[in-house]
Amino acid sequence: MNRTNNAEMEFTLNHLPASDDRWLSVMDVENVRKALTFHRSFPQYEVTPLHSLKQMAKYLGVKGLYVKDESYRFGLNAFKVLGGSYAIGSYIAKKTGKDISELPYEVLSSEQFREEMGQTTFYTATDGNHGRGVAWAANRLGQKAVVRMPRGSAKTRRDNIAKEGAEVTIEDLNYDECVRLAASQAKTDPSGVIVQDTAWRGYTDIPSWIMQGYGTMALEADRQLLADGVERPTHIFVQAGVGSLASAVVGYFANKYKDEEPVMCVCEAGAAACLYRSAVKGTGETVKVRGKLDTIMAGLACGEPNVIGWDILRNHAAGFAACPDWMSAKGTRMYGVPLHGDPTVISGESGSVTMGFLASIMMYPRYEEVKKALKLDENSQILLISTEGNTDPMRFREVVWDGLYGVRHRGEEVVK
């Protein structure tokens, strides 16, 4: 892995031509409410915290800074289970001719229902969190899971998936190649179904359900902000791999606040910034990033955009950023060593990049133009999502204890 801390962030505003925006309805508020109702039926369900970082907001010069902490989600340390569980439930509902509202957890997990339906094997590719969520949901609902992981995947993440009873292997392939492998294996298995958190031509139903499942998190955060007196976030920064999470969050808030959308910016790992590169291309066509996708942000190491997600983002994201690894490491350390009075947030490398991005553009003069472009000021109410906790303990210690990807200020004065 390239451990340089000299790489720079790249940013572009969205100047893309609009499409017909036909996929925005996937994240309609009513669809998201249905997903939330499904998740509430699980005995493990609890609303994850929305932390107000009041001291950090003052330090960065904004009105409010809120972070949705997904390290508490279903005891799995990441948000991904929301999508995998809702997709599995929705697939079973479609297969049995029922509405998902008729199939809460107590029905899906019952022995009688499993005997009537039989078993399905859910195939997926993952860098860790999505596969664990699929395996967990399949295990709880009496189904099977087969998980393929790309080269370089952490053994801890692999072992956590295996603990859920899934068949799991680490392949000598990158993430996108693992997706193709899982899809081909599902196709040859009479009981197999691919449950992937990306979409391609001819494969849109399950990715749409996954995105709606992620919407539970956005709906919770929206309600928590309202309860704290924030009528509407002015800014939302959300990370992206293939773009399913980003488009779910952007899509929900674009539907909810049609008349005055928040300024929503997508942050990717620089080594796998397919959405940023697609935005720079400027035609509306997607750009695929090939190769090893070498980045500390394992959950964002995806080089091929979700076509549904891309369509939502090209119409509603204000900007796209390709973030270097040091920016993620900075975010992890800032969350983990908070200013006095703020809560500690344990955030893994893929969960913390938006914090590193926000802090960098507010603190470092070389990013002043990005700050202005995103209209950040003392009136900004900002929502971030920490999508994972400490899911790779060895890497987490390297970042927090050993200063992996420490920041050099290049002799510039920090704006404070």
Residue 27 has pLDDT above 80, yes or no: yes
Domain contains 251: yes
State pLDDT tens for residues 88-140.
999 999 999 999 999 999 999 999 998 888 899 999 999 889 999 999 999 99
CATH code of residue 28 = 3.40.50.1100
pLDDT at residue 373 in the model: 98
Q: pLDDT tens digit string along 230-267?
A: 999 999 999 999 999 999 999 999 999 999 999 999 99
Residue 147 domain-assigned (yes or no): yes
- 126 with 257, same domain: the answer is no
Query: Is the residue at 375 inside a domain?
Result: yes
Percentage with pLDDT > 70 across the chain: 97
Whether 239 and 383 map to the same domain: the answer is yes
Q: Residue 1: which pLDDT band, with cuts at 50, 70 and 90?
A: very low
pLDDT digits (tens, 9 = 90+) for 163-189: 999 999 999 999 999 999 999 999 999
3 domain residue, yes or no: no
Residues 35, 105 within the same domain: no
> Do 305 and 358 share a domain, yes or no?
yes
Q: What is the 3-state secondary structure (H, E, C) of the chain?
A: CCCCCCCCCEEEECCCCCCCCCCHHHHCHHHHHHHHHHHHCCCCCCCCCEEECHHHHHHHCCCEEEEEEHHHHHHCCECCHHHHHHHHHHHHHHHHCCCHHHCCHHHHCCHHHHHHHCCCEEEEECCCHHHHHHHHHHHHCCCEEEEEECCCCCHHHHHHHHCCCCEEEECCCCHHHHHHHHHHHHHHCCCEEECCCCCECCECHHHHHHHHHHHHHHHHHHHHHHHCCCCCCCEEEEEECCCHHHHHHHHHHHHHCCCCCCEEEEEEEHHHCHHHHHHHHCCCCCCCCCCCCCCCCHHHCCCCCCHHHHHHHHHHCCEEEEECHHHHHHHHHHHHCCCCCCCCCCCCCCCCHHHHHHHHHHHCHHHHHHHHHCCCCCCCEEEEEECECCCCHHHHHHHHCCCCCCCCCCCCCCCC
User: Which among 201, 216, 246 is the end of a domain?
Assistant: 201
**257 and 218, same structural domain?**
yes
Residue 384 lies inside a defined structural domain of this protein: yes
Is a pLDDT exceeding 50 seen at residue 16?
yes
pLDDT > 90? residue 400: yes
Does residue 106 sit in the same domain as residue 167?
Answer: yes
**Model pLDDT, residue 117:** 87
- Number of domains the chain contains: 2
Q: Who's near 308: CB < 8 A, 6+ residues apart?
A: 23, 26, 199, 204, 207, 208, 211, 247
For residue 2, tell me if it sits in a domain: no
**Tokens representing residue 284 in the block:** 């509306």
Both tokens assigned to 139? 């295990």
Residue 77: the pLDDT is: 94
Instruction: Based on the fold, state whether residues 192 and 85 are members of the same structural domain.
Output: yes
| Residue 328 included in any domain | yes
Q: Are residues 74 and 86 in the same domain?
A: no
Positions marked active-site: 80, 127
In this prediction, residues 40-52 reach a mean pLDDT of 97
Written as six digits, the tokens of 51 are 């932390």
Q: Is the dihedral of CA 406, 407, 411, 414 positive or negative?
A: negative
- Tell me which of 28-37, 245-254, 283-292, 400-409 is least confident: 400-409
What number is the average pLDDT over the span 375-398?
Answer: 97
pLDDT for residue 278: 98
- Kindly state the average pLDDT of the residues 199-228: 97
Pair (249, 378) in one structural domain: yes
Per-residue pLDDT at 413:
67
Among 162, 181, 201, identify where a domain stops. 201
Average pLDDT, the chain: 95
* Cβ neighbours of 165 (radius 10 Å): 14
Domain boundary, last residue among 163, 178, 201: 201
Residue 13 to residue 206: CA distance in whole angstroms: 30
**Which pair of structure tokens corresponds to residue 347?**
């955030």
Claim to verify: residue 225 and residue 92 sit in the same structural domain: no
| Residue that is written with structure tokens 């990005």 in the block | 370
What are the residues whose beta carbons fall under 8 Å from the beta carbon of 227, sequence distance 6 or more? Answer: none
pTM greater than the 0.75 cutoff: yes
Mean pLDDT confidence for 288-297: 92
- Tell me the two tokens of residue 188: 């040859």
Assign 415 a pLDDT band (cuts: 50, 70, 90).
low
- Mean pLDDT, range 302-313, rounded to an integer: 96
What's the pLDDT score for residue 407? 77
pLDDT value at 342 more than 80: yes
Its domain, for residue 90, covers: 81-201
Give 292's pLDDT tier (boundaries 50, 70, 90): confident
Give the tokens for residue 26. 């996937």
- Is 33 part of any domain? yes
Residues 111 and 40 in one domain: no
Q: Are residues 124 and 145 in contact, defined by beta-carbon separation less than 8 angstroms? A: yes
Going by pLDDT thresholds of 50, 70 and 90, the confidence category of residue 7 is confident
Q: Is the pLDDT of residue 2 over 80?
A: no
The predicted structure's pLDDT at residue 406: 87
Residues 268-274, mean pLDDT to the nearest whole number: 97
Q: Residues 390, 376: one domain?
A: yes
